[in-house]
Structure 1
Amino acid sequence: MPDPRTVTLAEVRATLDAAYPPALAEDWDTGIGLTCGDPAQPVGTVLLAVDVDPVTVDEAVEVGADLLLTHHPLLFRPVQSVAADTAKGRLIHRLIRGGVAHLAAHTNADRAAGGVNDALAAALGLTDTRPVAPADADPALGLGRIGTLAAPTTARAFAAAIAAALPATVTGARLAGDPDRRIRRVAVCGGSGGSLLSTVSGAGVDAFVTSDLGHHVAQEYVSGGDDRPVLVDVAHWAGEWPWLPVAAALLERELGVRAVVSERRTDPWTARA
């Protein structure tokens, strides 16, 4: 195992690129890879989080991280300035002043084997998984995962189990459809998976777990026929968090660096009345 004092940022990036190839990213995805940092700098500690925001940037500095690895990019939408009086600029200045590099693995980590969707499927107890939408070049890669529960359950009980398996949020797990429906085959998509609704309709699954489903989308979908799966909507942050320990274990195993998983909730919803 390499001495973590000799591991460079370039080596960390190469390890992550091998596990979550940038070529797998969706065409529209931007901001993946290295946002800031010197590839030659040594990396001894990595903080992993879903989001790069003031909470996780401060945590990275607090734990002495040399790299903040997040699922969501910092510069996903174009900006004209990274001056310190802008929201994005403040984060970048804070990172640089603290000696913390930033790297994002976004839809490339979604589509990769062992990435975000495999981690979510494993967290929910699914076995014999395959992609919902396989990549053209390799049917083992692609968006979402379909798998089987060890034993059938009801939709109501399954939603409760999901809420217990994922990090707690104020919204929990919301169910659309018949609460008493029998659930055995399940499709999941970490993050915003509404684009896969038509695909899972014909996939022979009983439930689809994803995030960010709107009122009209969910209403029209579940009213489209009893053969359609019930929908379980979880917080975007919670559905992608299970990947962090997986990526942390990869970095520790391959590079010998210290990998710290952030448990600070960056879900934007902070209370429910």
Structure 2
Amino acid sequence: MKIAFSPCPNDTFVFHAWVHGLIPDAPELDVSYADINITNHWAADDREHDILKISYAALPWVLDEYALLPCGGALGRGCGPLVLTADKLPGGEAASGPTALSGRTIAVPSERSTAYLLFRLWAAQNVPGGLGEIIVMPFDQIMPAVRDGAVDAGLVIHEARFTYPSYGLKLMSDLGSWWESDTGLPIPLGAIVARRSLDLKRISQWIRTSVEYAWAHPQDSKAYVLAHAQEMEQQVAEAHIDLYVNSFTAELGEDGYAAISALLERAADEGLVPRIDPALLKRPY
């Protein structure tokens, strides 16, 4: 069975047990590791994988072929993307607040990411005159680009929540906090999807068992997680897992599905994603 997910600690932690043959009766996995911007493309265009971790923002382009699974993904509170700047924007203007981003160049990790949708929804409320150029770049290159003045601001995800001070950068907005205060809902970040033609109930059971194994045996996955963590320090990797692997990873639940629907409905209202049939988001079994 072909699966694609990122090398980030939360994904390798979640799938460690299944990848290593520790789930009874689960088929062997052929794993592709790739940034979520790439897996979004694979799900929408290549369609060669049976299971993928993608952004919730990419769902409108894949729901004809793939079903959203109720477990394994990243959704929670206090874990949203951040808008970062240097103390002064290129040109010398102080980064005093969102209005300073009007017409500015922003680096983002993907235009089909939840981070990007949250950013655009936030900017529509907070940046008069609108944003300038949007530049897509790998997420690990965004903070250096902001620090070096190559872009005016950056939208960052993942472990950047913990490391941005080391780049001398300033937090302009925590989009997760904004979303939670605006909606009362958790932040939908990464989804697990699988081909609708497969046994989705069994796949979900294998994923949930892998999550439960990871929680019960956290030391077993440590070497695997760190091997794929792109030279991340162990303390940062553990903080990453603690933040992104939570009760929603085991089961989306009512709040999880409500958050996903709210995000995609708002984004469709702004013309950022195609509008979808709400029935396609429902639990597939």
By the TM > 0.5 criterion, same fold?
no
Normalising by structure 1, we get a TM-score of 0.33
Q: Which has the higher strand share?
A: 1
Q: Which has the higher helix share?
A: 2
